[in-house]
Amino acid sequence: MGQSMSAVASETSRVGTQAAVAANGLVKVYGKGDTAVRALGGVSVEFQAGRFTAIMGPSGSGKSTLMHCLAGLDSSDGGSVHIGGTEITGLNDKDLTKLRRDRVGFVFQAFNLLPTLSAEQNILLGLELAGRKADKQWFDTIVDVLGLRDRLKHKPSELSGGQQQRVACARALVARPDVVFADEPTGNLDSRSGAEVLDFLRMSVRKLGQTVIMVTHDPVAASYADRVVLLADGHLAGEIQNPTADSVLSALKHLGA
């Protein structure tokens, strides 16, 4: 099934030869001296535009660290990261912030929303920070696809966990970023709500040509992706194209997770 879907994706203009996000020899070291932890030991990986990639690996393997460095949330100690052709490794805080604002979307595991803002305000927050207007049609499409229409005026505390994550997805997509990063977006959800969110992410890639990079522990969640990148001990440990839950599980067993 992966084959036919990627054929649809390749029709959109976003898919090119150029990678949406690329890391080259990425190194991240926490701490100093004896207690130093080499969380990323020279990772080189490319993420094609218009594709849905899952990053997997045992706990402590450096998944979150990789994502933070790729997204410009954290600085790296070696190597380089490109987002949409821009090298971000040398950027200062202000430019990084601008880059995130304009070209990156985020979905975190929890605490995705500001409690003082309504669902709608939360969705539009990123655009507002950038001083941009939302594309009304695009906004409506997203809201309707995610089934948030009658929840727009609600505060996060009045939404279920699944609804909160869907609002976060809507916010990530409404600005049409170059890439959406999701760190265990379904980690706090039951399997049905999780499936809804994953369905939406996959749909946004297949139908809308988004680029999504997702960190997950869950082989079932990973099976929604086009490709799985495996990490172990801060190094690339292989990858699976068109994964299924079973193929992911066996690969992970191989890694000893």
Ligand X SMILES: Nc1ncnc2c1ncn2[C@@H]1O[C@H](COP(=O)(O)OP(=O)(O)OP(=O)(O)O)[C@@H](O)[C@H]1O
Three-state SS at 254? helix
In angstroms, what is the minimal distance from the CB of 64 to ligand X?
3
Separation between Cα atoms, residue 196 and residue 175, nearest integer Å: 21
Among residues 17 and 35, whose Cβ is nearest to ligand X?
35
Q: Which of 10, 12, 64, 121 binds Mg ion (CB under 5 A)?
A: 64
Angle between helix 93-103 and helix 119-130 axes, rounded to 10 deg: 130
Nearest residue to Mg ion on Cβ basis: 64
Decide which of Mg ion, ligand X, other proteins, none touches 59; Cβ closer than 5 to 8 Å per partner kind: ligand X
Among residues 57 and 177, whose Cβ is nearest to other proteins?
177
In angstroms, what is the minimal distance from the CB of 248 to ligand X?
15
Binding site for other proteins (CB under 8 A): 68, 71, 73-74, 93-94, 97-98, 100-102, 106, 108, 110-112, 114-117, 125-126, 128-131, 156-157, 171
In angstroms, what is the minimal distance from the CB of 89 to other proteins?
16
Three-state SS at 102? helix
Separation between Cα atoms, residue 101 and residue 126, nearest integer Å: 6
Separation between Cα atoms, residue 34 and residue 31, nearest integer Å: 9
DSSP assignment letter at 36? -
Which single residue is written with the structure tokens 């049905």? 192
User: Where do contacts with Mg ion occur on this chain (CB under 5 A)?
Assistant: 64
